[in-house]
Each structure stands twice: as structure tokens, then as C-alpha cells.
Amino acid sequence: MSKTKYYFDSENLEFVPIKRSLTQRFYRLSLFLISSVIIGSFITILLLNTDFIDTPKEIVQAREIDNYKLQLRVLNKKLDQVESTLANIEDRDNSLYRVYFEASPIPKEQRRAGFGGVNRYDYLEGYESSDLIVNTTERVDILTKELVIQSRSLDEIELLAKNKESLLTSIPSIQPVNMSDLKRMASGYGYRIDPFTKMRTMHFGMDFSAKTGTPIYATGDGNVLRADNRAAGFGNHVRISHGFGYESIYAHMSKINVRRGDKVKRGDLIGYVGNTGRSVAPHLHYEIIKDGKKINPINFYSGSLSPDEFKELVNLTSQENQSLD
């Protein structure tokens, strides 16, 4: 119930109730409502253009930004783990894999080449979270570069490993005549007495004395370069290329069991002991060549001799006696 208002009637010296017409009441109410709307609109516009209140769109955007920041922090923690794992792989790559396969280590500077000096992230600056964004982007770029380098390194190691396996099967590493078939080790690598001139000359191979017809075996995988009797002094002989700069020669055979161009495996039968060519008794003259230079075969029997047999062989071949060719 509204309160009744009065005014003082000075003539009659009494308070008289104020009576407003319906038109006056409507006018006053309309004026109040209009004023309220104007003032309310002004206050709303003022608040919307200040930092005191956010619009619904700004609230959604703020939440999205906070979510992105959280995701970036989580990503950085994952990057910590990836960097640690990659650093471990790089260390093993340099100190183990590349050492074993005789490859030069990859310096850290080369793995991170292209980062430093020029600011390549200036387009990300000027924002509230620029430091976090720039740091994360740079770490991802560096990791990407290091992963590319490491991937290439592992490809190289894989190729070296395949070559290493091929190298191990190709290098001559067994005795060309079985120990049980030998009569004796007639002569070794080094200066010996020539059986024809009786002069001290260099003997570039090892002579295995055995009966005519004793099997002769390829000492490593390879391709037959020659299988003929047209080399001076060798008589019937076989020459095998093992790759990686290695070759082996088997001379004075009674019979050849391979042809030029044949592929042979270590242990394959390639011929038989004989006395053809410049020879004074049945034996196998065996040579190894590395990069065009004839070297001592005594160092290439690890795959077929026991330590005691090898020691005995070294003692026999070290004696300066007369060779058989």
C-alpha cells in the first residue's frame, strides 16, 4: 500500500492530501522507466568496454587460451622425455655403433646445425604467451633436425652392418687344405731358398705339402677371376676375388673344379693338390693379396685351427727353409 503524501494549506492552516491525476501518474512512471533504461544501457556499455567484465565470447576465448597453455606445458614435458631418449641414442650411436663399424662420430654441432644466430621465430613474438610458444616451437624444430640426422646415421650403420657381415664371410679365414690331409707345412711366407736357383728369394705364399688329389677349398666367399694354367710358374691355378680388396691364389693344382665367373662360398671345393707348373713336389702354393699387395696368409686361419694348431703352424712357417716352388 503506497503512502499518502500531503501539502500544507496556509489559508486553512491544515494538511491536505495530494491527489494526482492518472495522467500525472503515468507520466512520472514513464519518465522513471525511460531514465532507468538510459542509465542501465550507459552502465552496460561502459562495463563492456572496460576490463571489469568479460563478454561470453571473451570468456570462451580465455578458456581456450588456458587450455592451449596447458597443452603446451604437457607437450614440453613430453619433449623432455624425447630429448633424453634421443640424447641416449646419439651417445650410443657415436660411442658404440659408429666405433664398431669404424665410422666417424657425428659432432653435436652438426646434429644441431642451423639453429642460432638469426631469430627465426620473430613472427611468434608480441603475444601474452610468446615465450612459451617460441620455446616449444624451437625445441620441436631442433628435435626434428636431430631425428633426421640420427635416422640417416642409422641408415648408414645398417649399410655398414650389411657390409660387415659380407666382409666377415668374404675375408679368407680358413686353411685351404684340411689339417688331416697334410703331410707337413713345407714352407711359409718370407725369404726362402729357391729349389731351382738355390738362391735366397722372397716367397710370397705358403706351401702345403699333401698327396696329389687332396681336396682344396675356397677360404672365403667370392668370385673366380681365373681358373687356368696360363700364369707363369703357377701351373693349374685358381684366383678368387673376395671383395673389399682381398684376393686369394691356389697354385700347382692337378685338377681345377671351378670356372672363371663362378661364385664360391667359403669351404667350397675348387680343385685338387698337384705338381703342375714350377714345382718340385705335390703341394698347394697359397697366397693372399690385399689391395694389390701380397701379405702373409698365416694371419687368416682363425676359422679352422685351434690355438695349439695355429701356434704349431706359426713355428713351422717361421723356419727359413727351401720352398717347393
User: What's the whole-model pTM score?
Assistant: 0.56
CB contact at 8 A, 220 and 263: no
108, 83 contact by CB (below 8 A):
no
Q: Using an 8 Å Cβ cutoff, are 176 and 116 in contact?
A: no
Amino acid 173 reads S
Please check whether residue 301 is in contact with residue 188, taking contact to mean a CB–CB distance below 8 angstroms. Answer: no
Bridge partners of 202, per DSSP, are 191
| Structure confidence at residue 218 (pLDDT) | 96
The answer to whether 294 touches 252, Cβ cutoff 8 Å, is no
Among 226, 232, 282, CA closest to 254: 282
Strand partners, 237: 228
Work out the angle at residue 95's Cα, subtended by the Cα atoms of residues 94 and 97, and round it to the nearest 5 degrees.
Answer: 70
> Which residues are within 8 A (CB) of 42 and not within 5 positions of it... i.e. 6 or more apart?
none
The beta-strand segments (E) located in 150-235 are: 182-187, 190-193, 200-203, 206-210, 215-217, 222-228
Residue 114 is classified by DSSP as: T
Half-sphere exposure (CA, 13 Å, Cβ side) for 229? 13
Cβ contact 309:217 at 8 Å: no
Cell numbers at 112, concatenated:
644441431
Beta bridge partners of 274: 283
CA torsion angle for 222, 226, 231, 233 (degrees, to 10)? 50
Q: Which residues pair with 9 in a beta bridge?
A: 14
Return the SS3 of 111: helix
Cell numbers of 151, please? 635416422
Give the span between the Cα atoms of 277 and 237, in whole angstroms.
9
Whether the CA torsion 56, 57, 58, 64 is positive or negative: it is: positive
pLDDT in tens, the chain (325 residues): 566 676 666 777 777 676 666 676 666 777 777 777 777 666 666 666 666 566 677 777 777 777 777 777 888 888 888 888 888 888 888 877 777 776 788 887 777 766 665 677 777 777 777 777 778 888 888 888 888 888 888 888 888 888 887 888 888 988 899 877 666 666 788 888 888 888 888 888 889 889 999 999 999 999 999 999 998 889 999 999 999 889 999 999 999 999 999 999 999 999 999 999 988 889 999 999 998 999 888 878 765 666 776 676 666 666 666 666 6
Do 101 and 161 contact (CB within 8 A), yes or no?
A: yes
The residue type at 278? R
Q: Are 173 and 288 in contact (CB under 8 A)?
A: no
